[in-house]
Amino acid sequence: MNCKKCSPLKGTIKVPGDKSISHRSVMFGALAQGRTEVTNFLPGADCLSTIRCFRQLGISIENSKSTDHVIVHGKGLHGLSKPADILDVGNSGTTMRLISGILCGQSFETSLIGDESIQRRPMGRIMTPLAMMGADIKSQPENGCAPLAINSVLGSHAKLTGIHYNSPVASAQIKSCILLAGLYAEGETSVTEPSLSRNHTELMLTEFGASINSIGNTATILPEPILTGRRIEVPGDISSAAYFIAAGLLVPNSEIMIKNVGINPTRDGILRVCRQMGANIVLENVIDHGGEPVADLVVCSSELTATQVSGELIPTLIDEIPVIAVLACFAKGQTIIKDAAELKVKESNRIDVMVDNLTRMGADITATPDGMIINGGRPLHGATIDSKSDHRIAMSFAIAALLAEGETHILNAECVDISYPNFYSDLKSLNR
């Protein structure tokens, strides 16, 4: 994919449905009794992996790749059946970690595999708490990574055991995995995080009928609820909107509206950081979708100044840090991103990959053990970018390319299909 400098961006765009919420709508719909109808579902490769896995577990799910409308015919908490084959999660960490929590509570064994990237990502972070609950989950290569094998323990223990888990990392995937296993446990299960990660599981499972109590950074779930199928309207994904927010702020004389974006406070760190940097972003038509706040965002080009991104803010913008690094290249002064070592274990090592590729474009950027330091203001020039098949890297560099002198060539640019299949055509639609 070749990208280059563009004229002002104008117009209105609607980003696709939220990836985290789309995954959960299928998973929780499968565990509920009856029909769950999902609109604005994200038909990206990751969420289609979740649909494929639940079909293998005996759940009937109606959808077609081109539509964002999904109907899940749930069979209740104990309605899943043993799959004939290994479950393949593709590139999706959310699918692998959340489904593991569910599968540990079943009376049949399963195994899970995924692509090359997922086989390098740490699964010990879910295996440890699941083992504490009495689950039998193993890394087949014995390196803490997938493929994973899950054996049923229901024969000997009858149930998993509820625990209180102090998670060393603020991660919604770890938290959700444990809470889902807690559906099948004896007694209550709770998770305390060092800072609060996205709370879509807590909000949506409660809407389905689960009993979840969230106080500060601790979420507690009671077992064996009766979950009932429901309608879910998925908000637009703020992580996808982030690329257009950055483009609208950086490309001179731009004004764009991004419609129907989820602005849950556990996800809206990108808005807070942009405002800290002096961005002109206005929220209009704020409404509520089943506990998830949604708004239209009006973004106008702005002069940006450097900032510090750290601490409790990090989990609220973890997937937006690559595009924040791009913003920082055009901000006046030194931006410091820290407390973000988690970036090393995403679809790629996002610290190294951002620093390598932005350096190639002429940026003044240095990697640190838990983030990066960027001195803004150096002009960028086109270069060949290795996306490492990481969707968020490819999209971040498509935005950097809009401001660079000359042409930028993004390798494996089609990986945007993971979370935003129409990304390039949507971007083009704002630059007529």
Among the listed residues 167, 285, 239, the one whose alpha carbon sits nearest the alpha carbon of residue 396: 239
When the beta carbons of 122 and 293 are compared against ligand S3P, the nearer one is 122
Q: How far is the CB of 175 from ligand S3P (least distance, A)?
A: 7
Is 179 a binding residue for ligand S3P by CB under 6 A? The answer is no
Q: How far is the CB of 20 from ligand S3P (least distance, A)?
A: 3
Stretch of residues binding ligand S3P (CB under 6 A), selected from 48-56, 129-137, 170-178, 248-256: 170-178
How many binding residues for ligand S3P (CB under 6 A)? 11
How is residue 262 written in tokens? 């989820």
Is 50 a binding residue for ligand S3P by CB under 6 A? The answer is no
Exactly one of 319, 320, 386, 417 binds ligand S3P (CB under 6 A); which one? 319
Query: In a 10 Å sphere around its CB, with 0-12 CB exposed, 13-18 middle and 19+ buried, how is residue 311 labelled?
Result: exposed
The alpha carbon dihedral of 336, 341, 342, 343 has a sign of positive
Residues 15, 236: Cα–Cα separation, whole Å: 6
When the beta carbons of 26 and 318 are compared against ligand S3P, the nearer one is 318
Is 324 a binding residue for ligand S3P by CB under 6 A? The answer is no
Exactly one of 20, 56, 106, 357 binds ligand S3P (CB under 6 A); which one? 20
Stretch of residues binding ligand S3P (CB under 6 A), selected from 126-134, 136-144, 169-177, 377-385: 169-177
Residues 267, 224: Cα–Cα separation, whole Å: 29
When the beta carbons of 198 and 388 are compared against ligand S3P, the nearer one is 198
Q: How far is the CB of 132 from ligand S3P (least distance, A)?
A: 19
Say whether 319 is catalytic: yes
Residues 50, 375: Cα–Cα separation, whole Å: 40
Exactly one of 94, 117, 206, 357 binds ligand S3P (CB under 6 A); which one? 94
Among the listed residues 243, 242, 252, the one whose alpha carbon sits nearest the alpha carbon of residue 8: 252
Amino acid in position 291: G
∠ at Cα 181 (179, 182), nearest 5°?
60
Q: Which is the catalytic residue, given 319, 386, 390, 417?
A: 319
Beta carbons within 8 Å of 64's beta carbon, 6+ residues apart = none
Write a three-state SS string for 51-119. Answer: HHHHHHCCCEEECCCCCCCEEEEEECCCCCCCCCCCEECCCCHHHHHHHHHHHCCCCCCEEEECCCCHH
Residue number closest to ligand S3P, CB atom: 20
User: Among residue numbers 325 through 364, which ones bind ligand S3P (CB under 6 A)?
Assistant: 342
Interface ranges with ligand S3P (CB under 6 A): 20, 94, 171-173, 176, 197-198, 318-319, 342
- As annotated, the active-site residues are 319
